Amino acid sequence: MKIIIATKNKNKIKEIKNKFNRIPDLTVVDISSYPDIPDVEETGSTFMENALLKARAITAYTGIPSLADDSGLVVDALGGRPGIFSARYGGEGLTDHDRNMLLLEEMKDVPHEARKARFICSIILYMPDDRYYSAEGQCEGLITESPKGERGFGYDPIFYLPDHHCTMAELDLDEKNRISHRARALDNTAEILKDLV
């Protein structure tokens, strides 16, 4: 069975391939193999709706089962922001570091005990006959007061994991691929794929 990963994010592609490389008879390709695929507008109101929009569009274009995820950071003290806008928070053209600093500025008066947040990842595996399967994963933590760690991407440097006494950006890739929101959603997806392959 062949599936296409519906993302151009190299970090996500690496994480996904790492999770699925042990499933026999599964070939995973990324979207770069199809350079003419148009971008899919994320107009959904939830992570799951956006993942479904992307997966459906990529399968319709390629005729191949596709896997799409939508994920982001949900911060309680910010009313759930940045949420589905995590990758575009603050507007186009900002770097990950810029978005982290913007979020920390918004949180500057929030006390430690009120800095709860979670990463959420929703995944859709979409089939050419319009069947689809969904999976989700979450990872709970706190927003730090300053970035820490050089690994990871996105909001990892400001997302503190109390059980690990470090930020997501301080974990090595193997550990992150075991405990992150995407890892948990991918584990659930891997079980679905094992039944389909």
Residue numbers annotated as active site: 70
Tokens of 37: 């695929």
Rg (CA), the chain: 17
- 126/99 Cα distance (integer angstroms): 31
Helix axis angle, 181-196 to 10-20, nearest 10°: 50
SS3 of 99, please?
A: helix
Closest CA to 143 of 128, 155, 134: 155
- 84/53 Cα distance (integer angstroms): 13
- 121/139 Cα distance (integer angstroms): 9
Edge-first strand listing for the sheet containing 166-167: 27-30, 2-5, 66-75, 116-126, 132-143, 159-161, 166-167
